Amino acid sequence: MSFHTGYLAIVGRPNVGKSTLNNRLVGAKVSITSKKAQTTRHRIHGILTTDDCQYIFVDTPGFQMQHRNALNRMMNRSVTQTLAAVDVVLFVVEAGRWGGGEDEIVKVLPRNRPVLLVINKVDRLEDKGRLLPFIEKMAQTYPFAEILPISAEKGQGVAELLKVAAGHLPEAPPVFDADDITDRSERFLAAEMLREKLFRNLGEELPYGIAVEIEQFEQEGDLRRIHAAVIVDKAAHKGIVIGKSGERLKRISTDARKEMEQLFGGRVWLETWVKVKSGWADDERALKSLGYE
């Protein structure tokens, strides 16, 4: 029996459910999620290996239409570079919604490899009668290899998506071990989990220029000692993150620690603090020091 392996880019505008889809496809949480734009800032590989196929999903940042600083340029560059290097593109859109963000992405879609249009959140479409006209309209925008309606959150249509995608992957041996679910290190995943909790706990108060830097990561048996700095752009943002008497940062850290322990399968000792680095999001050297490509 032949074996197929390939890279599949998951692209789309912010908040269409790319990271939720990546996690659903892999069967584990390897991409952080929230309702905020810029939740995903890095290319993250999620890996699924079956009896005859290895899928390597590349969860990309949402294509940025505003805030034109170095961080956004770097994120958009990550999307276009990924599109040039994968075997299949999964272009994710939200059911019933197509706007300027999608039009911009269509302009950079590759013409020399299959693009599957993945219509997500069909379970949230109140008038299901709108779905077929929407599919017909989308078919006119680009020569998609397939158009597949799904719900990443509920898992609807995901098995069919995998089946269709497998038919476009090249015959090749696996790149990763069968039990690998991501190529990212625990250090990277720890930073992402903490950043997710910042996004989720800060809500509308979330400072635009916020990042996480793991300054120390040590493992002693099943205990991981992690020292993490929350980076903000302005001194005024420091108090927002810390909260009254430090309660907000304590809650964020506790939520992150519990999720780390679940994923890593061991105890975690997490210490966090907040540092001010003015202008980091528009400083390419600072971005590279924080792990941005």
Distance CA 152, CA 46 (A): 15
Closest to 104 measured CA to CA, from 139, 63, 150, 136: 63
Q: Convert the pLDDT of each residue in 27-77 to its tens digit.
A: 877 775 545 444 444 556 789 999 999 999 987 754 444 555 555 556 556
Q: Convert the pLDDT of each residue in 93-137 to its tens digit.
A: 999 999 878 888 888 888 889 999 999 999 998 888 889 999 999
Q: Give the pair of three-digit tokens for residue 290.
A: 């924080």
| Averaged pLDDT score across all residues of the chain | 83
CA distances from 194 to 9, 276, 290 (A): 25, 17, 14
Torsion of CA 128, 130, 132, 134, to 10 degrees: -140
Distance CA 71, CA 74 (A): 5
**Residues found in the chain:** 293
CA distances from 102 to 4, 64, 138, 228 (A): 30, 11, 11, 36
The confidence band for 149, taking pLDDT boundaries of 50, 70 and 90, is very high
Enumerate residues 6+ apart whose C-beta is below 8 A from 74.
284, 287, 292, 293
Task: Please give the share of the chain, as a percent, with pLDDT higher than 70.
Answer: 81
The confidence band for 285, taking pLDDT boundaries of 50, 70 and 90, is low
Enumerate residues 6+ apart whose C-beta is below 8 A from 92.
10, 11, 12, 16, 17, 18, 21, 118, 120
CA angle 246, 248, 254 (to 5 degrees): 100
Distance CA 235, CA 136 (A): 51
What pLDDT is attached to residue 199?
83
Helical packing angle, 247-264 and 186-202, nearest 10°: 140
Q: Residue 220, exposed/middle/buried by CB under 10 A (0-12, 13-18, 19+)?
A: exposed
**What region, left, alpha or beta, does residue 291 occupy, with left being phi > 0 and alpha being psi -120 to 50 degrees?**
left
56 alpha-carbon distance from chain centroid: 14
Q: What is the pTM of this model?
A: 0.70
The confidence band for 284, taking pLDDT boundaries of 50, 70 and 90, is low
Cβ atoms of 82 and 60 within 8 Å: the answer is yes
- pLDDT higher than 60, residue 6: yes
Distance CA 217, CA 211 (A): 17
Cβ atoms of 5 and 175 within 8 Å: the answer is yes
Q: Give the pair of three-digit tokens for residue 86.
A: 């994968």
- pLDDT higher than 80, residue 177: yes
